[in-house]
Amino acid sequence: MLDSLEHVINNYKEVDTNYVNLRIKYVSRKMFLTPADTTWTDYNNKTLDISKQLNYPKGIGISYNNLGIIKHYFLSDPLEGLEYYQMSYAIFEKEPKFQKYVVGVLTNIGLINLEQQEYDKALKSFKALLINPENKSKFNTEFYIGNVFGEQKKLDSSIYYYKKALVGAEQSNRPLYIANIKTNLGLIEANAGLLEDGLTTINESLDVIETHNIEGLRVTAYTNAAEIYLKNNDVENAEYYATNSLKLNEGLNSLSTKSSALGTLANVYSQKGDYKNALTTYKEHIVLRDSLINADRKLEILRQEIQYEADKDRAIAQVEIERQKSIKNASIAGGTGLVLASIIGFILYRRKQDAVSKSKEAEFNAKVSDTELKALRSQMNPHFIFNSLNSIGDYILKNDTQSASDYLSKFAKLMRLTLENSEKKEILLIEDIALLRTYMDIERKRFNQKFNYTIDVDSHLDAENIVVPPMILQPFIENSIVHGLSQKEDIGLITISFKAEKNMLICSVDDNGIGRKNSATNKNNPDNKSMGMAITKSRIEIINKLKNTNGTVNIIDKTEGTRIDVSLPIQFAF
């Protein structure tokens, strides 16, 4: 079919929209059937250039989406892939006739969230697509929902959606989708203890791939087959498929599938008793896995999503302002009579007020986006991360593996919880307290037990029902540790307390450190201002505006140490 299509394209006499459509059809099939052949990247770029010359929105939008797929799937660059997906979405969302293409673009954006372990966000996207009337391949969306539940270890739900998707794919006679669904279904069945079913399903998938020569799925299918055979204690077949998956991946260069194959191969070596190769392979798997979902990449993807929405709000406000200016000028020029002029003036005044209001709203949204981003960055303090990793390295050099393991476990937990909460406006108070405990346990270990801490929650507060902004006290705790307690000669104490006063939640950080006046940091730089303090004040200002409340931040300099009181409106989860 590809050869036939290529022949038609090469003999096409005119460069028009039909020519572009033929090229789009060709590259869409070529890149999945022959993923190791990267000539279609240049081919797609040329299709994009021709579409721009013809001013053909459909060709431009699909070419951007294809570039996103190339960067995302085949070059393992979800950040650049997301950028192209957003460019494609900006083209398609303008025209109702292009809504069927919006489904594909939003699906790809949802897959980036899935790969970055943003499961709630991915599930929300896919379930919305499931009820979209323009979604003509609902079985494909059901497949992705099965993937989300599989990653969340909700195996029954995953199997349910995979089997629903399989029915749709078989009714539509789509071999590529059938093979893909069965590849994942087999692994989930094996994970759920249905070992024979898993083995049967993966072999059916491999048969479809072989029959239809679907090379783009072979690496993933081999990786899953290796895992399934390993669960069935067939080490020989497990090693065969894991090894061949890595060999095939050399041409594909997909970091995600390589990471999965390495993880499976490490388990194979471990089961064979080859612990040296098991350790080496596992280390390589961990490094690769962490590079795919590292904090910087997740932070940058989140930043790009926030920036995209903020720019969109600004653009809408600016268009409205320009439209009102045009209306005003036209009305003044054509206005006759005092009454008519008054009426027009009143209308223009109201519209101008609306435009100004929208402009201020867009500026406020931009401020919210910027504050969210800064708050996220302050929680992921690079100095704290660097120092923590140094401490882990120091334990390893001292051969204190127990301390290194304990420190690494707490550090990994803190990073995971911070990233999980980064997209949430509010979390339960009990969850925030758990996060703060983990953070302070790490800092105590890093500062050689230089301080102790207590956390007191008023007995009248329901910590499992009250919600707060995540990690809002963390910058103040960090200041207490670094600038107050670390410079104290004897053991310090931080007391964190939560109590209710007049429908407000009072969150306090009280330390017995050397105080702000005696801090070496402040002496060396009297003009130094805490970035964490500024960000927290900005977050509370936004809460005050959105909730119409009067939250505050107060600093009390004590005879010995400092106390910070943060007041927030009491909000309940339910």
**End of a domain among 91, 121, 136?**
136
| Three-state SS at 454 | strand
CATH of the domain at 287: 1.25.40.10
Last residue of some domain: 379, 409, 433?
379
Same-domain status, 451 and 515: yes
The answer to whether position 281 is within a domain reads yes
| pLDDT for position 300 | 47
For residues 66 and 78, membership in a common domain is answered with yes
> What would the 3-class secondary structure string for 455-522 be?
EEECCCCCCCCEEECCCCCHHHHHHHHHHHHCCCCCCEEEEEEEEEECCEEEEEEEECCCCCCCCHHH
In eight-state DSSP terms, residue 425 is S
Q: Please indicate, yes or no, whether residues 130 and 230 belong to a single structural domain of this protein.
A: no
Distance CA 86, CA 308 (A): 8
User: Does the predicted model carry a pTM greater than 0.85?
Assistant: no
pLDDT at 315: 55
Q: Are residues 558 and 469 in the same domain?
A: yes
**Is residue 79 in some structural domain?**
yes
- Beta strand spans in 66-128 (E): none
Please check whether residue 358 lies inside any domain of the structure.
yes
Kindly state whether residue 144 falls inside one of the protein's structural domains.
no
Per-residue pLDDT of the chain (574 residues; tens, 9 = 90+): 777 887 888 888 888 999 989 888 888 777 767 666 667 778 888 999 999 999 999 999 999 988 888 877 777 777 788 888 888 888 888 877 887 788 888 888 888 777 777 888 888 888 888 888 878 888 888 998 998 998 888 999 999 999 999 999 999 898 989 999 999 999 999 999 999 999 999 999 999 999 998 887 888 898 899 889 988 989 889 889 888 887 877 665 566 677 777 888 888 888 788 878 777 887 777 776 666 555 444 444 444 554 455 455 445 545 555 666 665 565 555 555 566 656 666 666 676 666 555 555 555 554 554 545 444 444 445 555 666 676 667 667 777 777 777 777 777 777 777 777 766 778 889 989 988 998 888 888 888 888 999 999 998 888 888 998 888 888 888 888 888 888 888 899 999 999 998 888 999 999 998 887 777 555 554 444 456 677 777 778 877 777 778 888 889 988 888 999 999 988 887 7
pLDDT of residue 124: 84
303 in the same domain as 288: no
Phi and psi at residue 13, to the nearest 5°: -90, -25
User: What gap in Å lies between CA 364 and CA 537, rounded to an integer?
Assistant: 15
Do both 427 and 559 map to the same domain? yes
Q: Are residues 427 and 564 in the same domain?
A: yes
Q: What residue type is 558 in one-letter code?
A: K
Same domain? 66 vs 114:
yes
Shared-domain flag, residues 463 and 555: yes
* pLDDT value of position 202: 93
Span 350-398, pLDDT tens digits = 766 665 555 555 555 545 545 454 444 444 455 556 666 766 676 677 7
Q: How many CA atoms lie within 13 A of 111 on its CB side?
A: 22
Q: How many domains does the chain have?
A: 4
Going from the C-alpha of 157 to that of each of 115, 140, 198, 489, 538, the distances in angstroms are 19, 16, 16, 56, 42
Q: Is 328 found in the same domain as 284?
A: no
CATH of the domain at 555: 3.30.565.10
Where does a domain end: 293, 312, 341?
293
Q: Closest Cα partner for 48 from 29, 31, 61, 32?
A: 61
pLDDT digits (tens, 9 = 90+) for 427-442: 889 989 988 998 888 8
Question: Does any domain span residue 190?
Answer: no
Asked if the structure places residue 441 within a domain, the reply is: yes
pLDDT of residue 364: 52
- pLDDT at position 307, please? 47
- Amino acid identity at 189: E
Among 253, 319, 193, 283, residue whose Cα is nearest residue 73? 253
pLDDT of residue 182: 94
Residues 545 and 476 in one domain: yes
Assigned domain for 491 exists? yes
Q: Are residues 567 and 429 in the same domain?
A: yes
Does residue 191 form part of some domain?
no
What is the domain extent for residue 15?
1-136
Per-residue model confidence as pLDDT tens digits over 58-113: 999 999 988 888 877 777 777 788 888 888 888 888 877 887 788 888 888 888 77
